[in-house]
Every structure is written in structure tokens, then in C-alpha cells.
Amino acid sequence: MTMESVLHPFADAATAASVTVSTQRWLERAVIGLNLCPFAKAVHVKHQVRFAVTAAATREELLEELRHELQVLGAAKPEVIATTLLIHPQAMADFTEFSFFLREIDAVIRDLELEGTMQVASFHPGYEFAGSASDDVANCTNRSPHPMLHLLRESDIDRAVAAFPDAATIYERNIETLRRLGHAGWSALFASEAQ
């Protein structure tokens, strides 16, 4: 079943719904539509993506939400929840602050004894790869409508990579795709609700 806008105790329902819609649109039009992640479509069409929207506003609140969501994912059957998008529109809006926060994720995984079991990828509206210019369209491969953490099982990653023999080339292919598309093409993906 689809895990629609899982609301944490202090999350506002209307905001969570809006955030979920914009995230789903990004997932469908950019991640799946441009094939930035060849593994995303299967879990999306099977309704195995958990959209967990939090009103966390501080580092501490977000760390607590991350702990909770890692435990939920770890306890769930993969056919029910394959992956979780922990979307935190009110925390870590500044990309530099977000970058420093990412260093704390490994400690959370260690504390929960999930090393070798779980991984967390990151997406942010202001994402910049190290050494890239802020206006480099290649940054859009990791730019999402809201700051978010993507929680994955390592076993699922291993299976996906085994099924996709050229997995190491995905990053380079995505950069080529975005450079061909350009900023105007990227913006056009989200220009209309009716696409």
C-alpha cells in the first residue's frame, strides 16, 4: 500500500500533503522521468515508498525523526516499505548547515546498530557537489523540492546494483542528461501541474 504523507506528531496535515505532492511530482518527473535512478520506478509503481513529512525545525528534532524512521524501515517488510523519504522542509534549509548535519548520520546508524544494514542518501533544493559552481546544472541530480533524507536498505542496493551491470556509470550518465536538458529544461519539468 502507498504510505501517504506519514505525519509525525507535530506535523501540519495541509503542509504535509502539499510537501508530499511536490515530492511525488519531483520523483515522477525528474528521478523516474529522466531515469536519474533506474531503481526508483519499480518501488514507486508498487507503492512501496514511504513519504514521511516532518515538522522538525531543529537538528535535534531531525535526528530524532531520523532514528524513528530508520527503525520503522528496519522493522517493515520490504514488500510493504522498500524505502523512505524523510522530508524535512523546516529543518536544514541552508545547504551548508545541511552538509554539516550529514556527518551526524553515520553516528545515528552506529548507535542503532544498523551499520551494514541501512544507508542514507541526501537531497536538497540547494545541493552542490564539492568543487562545482552553484549554477552548474549537474547539481540538479541531487536537487529536490525540499530538504530530504533517503533511507535505504543496503541489501536492496546490492540487489539493484547486481541487476544493473553499469551501476557505476549512473552518476556520469545523469550529469550528461542534465547538461543536455539545461536549466530551462529542468524548470520546464515542473512548470505545469497538468504534465
Mark out the alpha helices in the chain (DSSP H runs): 13-26, 40-45, 59-75, 95-102, 105-111, 154-163, 170-188
Q: How far apart are CA 95 and CA 101, in angstroms?
A: 10
Q: How far apart are CA 139 and CA 122, in angstroms?
A: 12
Q: How far apart are CA 40 and CA 33, in angstroms?
A: 10
Is 175 strand, coil or helix?
helix
Checking DSSP bridges between strand 83-87 and strand 49-53, what pairing results, if any?
parallel
CA angle 130, 134, 138 (to 5 degrees): 75
Whose cell is 553499469? That residue is: 166
Residue 22: alpha-carbon gap to chain centroid: 12
* Gap between the terminal Cα atoms of the chain: 25
pLDDT tens, position by position, 32-66: 999 999 889 999 999 999 999 999 999 999 999 99
pLDDT along the chain (195 residues), means of 10: 48 83 96 93 95 94 96 95 96 96 95 96 95 94 97 89 78 93 94 60
Enter the pTM of the model: 0.91
